[in-house]
Amino acid sequence: MGKNTGFLEYNRAEGPVRPEAERILDFREFHGSLPREKQMEQAARCMDCGIPFCQAGCMIGGMSAGCPLQNLIPEINDLVYRGRMEEAYVRLSVTHPFPEFTARVCPALCEAACTCGLHDEPVSTKENERAVMEYAFANGLVESREPAVRTGKRIAVIGSGPAGLSAAFWLNSRGHEVCVYERSDRIGGLLRYGIPNMKLEKALIDRRVEFMERSGIRFAVNTDVGKDRAPSELIREYDSLILACGASKPRDISVPGREAKGIYFAVDFLSRVTKTLLDSDFQKIPYELCKDKDVLVIGGGDTGNDCVGTSLRLQARSVTQLEMMPKPPEVRLISNPWPEWPRVLKTDYGQQEAISLFGKDPRVYQTTVKEFLVDKQGNLKGAVLLSLTPKKDEATGRLMMVPVPGSEKKVKTQLVLIAAGFLGPEDYVSEAFGVELDPRTNVKTQPEGYQTSRKGIYTAGDMHTGQSLVVKAIAEGKKAARAVDKDLMGYTNL
């Protein structure tokens, strides 16, 4: 696939990125696209390797290797290289309902498993797919036709994040009637309010939702099932239900001073910023949240990075990001061979912006918070940080991070954002539907299955697997749709 010698003739190139000093002045997308001819050259680098781990979607060494959707990546790259963009879109659409989303927010598991990346830079599959989708939208290739035949079966999807939207897309394409319920004021779930606009412009979600509505999918916003509507009503009204409410219960930090004003969960902070922008049509920027404040972000993952980038755009005076674990190596270790996911240092857009603005990486490794400092009015004024060191637990063999005695250090902070991950779905959802949870507090199903402990009620996405990636949630949505379709119809062609 691609050009046999393409990986030897062309170096990897990516779309232009706006300079850090410019892009932190707004919330617009900052990553551009290559010209069509240059993108064709990038697709030519696909090397006909014969071992396409890029599309494997399997687990190796306990980590994902390749695309969970099993996109037909070498074929798509080959079609892009040959300029056959319409065929590339058709091929991509066989497996993927929303490439325009993952082309912007996916960590590119496909590229991490690319054979070309074993000794060189991997093929730019993510940007190739973005080019395909923007061509498809620009040239009227994305269809919004209703299915020619309806089955008469009705399905409710609770939650409009990536898993819920994916399940609705595939079930509607099969001919079932689908209604998606969303407790927020806009469709998108995590895509809408958990990911900042500069990373995923919300107009892209609106564009896709409009196509889905024209295809016959109904959406009900401001409807919190379990509070605004009784699950029993939906169970009577629909043939099947899919719970795709996400793992939206944030992990807290239990230390003295936690009650101080000025400490927020990251998702609440990001949601508030995005909602303010959308409600004002980007005319109001909530500078009051961060302006001239010393911001402390607790958590080193993607959400923590999003908090860093958002705080900079809101004119924070300083930003520090705490990471409990040691700093990753800059290159793969022997113990982490290809095609495993590379456990190496990644400096994302927010951290790059902080380095540009402040002259140093905002991340502080092997560090946690011991105490929050509070003034007489109950406002946050600082934090006591504590260094950690790795130590192997003799009983379990697991690596643990333990405090270093006497390493306490006070820092000033007036805003803390907790981005420490999530602990599963919110309790009221599972309790309202009466579904069992597994030991990790996710909704329980049979192994490799999607039906919950209650017949006719299914689950998908983070609510099923725990906190994970957008692309995995989309894959989960399709698998849950397949399970529902098979149980309703006796077979499935999804």
**Structure-token match 């998908």, residue found:** 460
pLDDT-derived band at 345 (thresholds 50, 70, 90) equals very high
Judge: domain 6-138, CATH 1.10.1060.10.
Answer: yes
pLDDT of residue 286: 98
% of the chain at pLDDT higher than 70: 100
Q: Is 449 exposed, middle or buried (0-12, 13-18, 19+ CB in 10 A)?
A: middle
Residue 19 is predicted with a pLDDT of 97
| pLDDT at residue 393, rounded to an integer | 86
Q: How high is the pLDDT of residue 395?
A: 83
Confidence of residue 398 (pLDDT cuts 50, 70, 90): confident
Per-chain mean pLDDT for the chain: 96
* DSSP codes of every residue in 231-300: HHHHHHH-SEEEE------BPP--STTTTSBTEEEHHHHHHHHHHHHHHTTT----GGGTTT-EEEEE--
DSSP state of 240: E
* Tens digits of residue pLDDT in 278-303: 999 999 999 999 999 999 999 999 99
d(CA 362, CA 80): 39
323: three-class secondary structure by DSSP: strand
Cβ atoms of 454 and 438 closer than 8 Å: no
Mode of pairing for the β-strands spanning 380-392 and 409-412: antiparallel
Alpha carbons 147 and 145: distance in angstroms, whole number = 6
Q: Strands 294-298 and 415-418, how do they pair?
A: parallel
Task: Give every CB contact of residue 425 below 8 A, 6+ residues apart in sequence.
Answer: 243, 245, 246, 247, 248, 249, 441, 442, 443, 462, 463
User: Could you count the other beta carbons within 10 Å of the beta carbon of residue 493?
Assistant: 8
CA distance 396 to 268: 36
Q: What is the pTM of this model?
A: 0.96
What pLDDT, on a 0 to 100 scale, did the predictor assign at position 61?
82
What mean pLDDT comes out for the span 121-125? 96
Please determine, for residue 374, whether its predicted confidence score (pLDDT) is greater than 90.
yes
pLDDT digits (tens, 9 = 90+) for 243-272: 999 999 999 999 999 999 999 999 999 999
Query: Would you call the peptide bond into 447 cis, given omega within 30 degrees of 0 as the criterion?
Result: no
146 Cβ contact list (under 8 Å, min separation 6): 214, 215, 216
Q: Residues 419-463: pLDDT tens digits?
A: 999 988 999 999 999 999 999 999 999 999 999 999 999 999 999
What integer pLDDT is reported at residue 3 of this predicted model?
Answer: 86
pLDDT at 1: 66
Contacts of 40 (CB under 8 A, 6+ apart): 80, 81, 82, 83
Q: Is residue 368 over pLDDT 80?
A: yes
CATH number of 263-418: 3.50.50.60
| 202 has pLDDT over 90 | yes
Locus of tokens 């779905």: 425
The whole-angstrom separation of Cα 194 and Cα 192 is 6
User: What distance in Å separates the CA atoms of residue 416 and residue 294, rounded to the nearest whole number?
Assistant: 9
Lowest mean per-residue pLDDT among 2-11, 219-228, 305-314, 377-386: 2-11
Class for the domain spanning 154-248+423-489: alpha beta
Give domain limits for the chain: 6-138, 154-248+423-489, 263-418
Same fold: 6-138 with 154-248+423-489? no
Chain-centre distance of CA 146, in angstroms? Answer: 29
Contact 427, 443 (CB under 8 A): no
How sure is the predictor about 397, in pLDDT bands with cuts at 50, 70 and 90?
confident
Q: What angle do CA 305, 309, 314 make, to 5 degrees?
A: 140
Helix 73-81 / helix 36-44 crossing angle, nearest 10 deg:
130
Give dist(CA 23, CA 198) in Å, integer. Answer: 9
- Would you say how long the chain is, in residues? 494
CB 182 within 8 A of CB 219: yes
The answer to whether residue 48 scores a pLDDT higher than 90 is: no
Q: Is the pLDDT of residue 222 over 80?
A: yes
Percent over 90 (pLDDT), the chain = 92
pLDDT, tens digit, for every residue of 15-42?
Answer: 999 999 999 999 999 999 999 999 999 9
For residue 194, give the DSSP letter: I
Determine the average pLDDT of the residues in 186-195: 97
Q: In this model, does residue 47 exceed pLDDT 90?
A: no
Biggest distance spanned by C-alpha atoms of the chain? 71
For residue 348, what pLDDT band results from cuts at 50, 70 and 90? very high
* SS3 assignment, position 58: strand
Q: How far apart are CA 128 and CA 291, in angstroms?
A: 38
Residue 214 clears pLDDT 70, i.e. is over it? yes
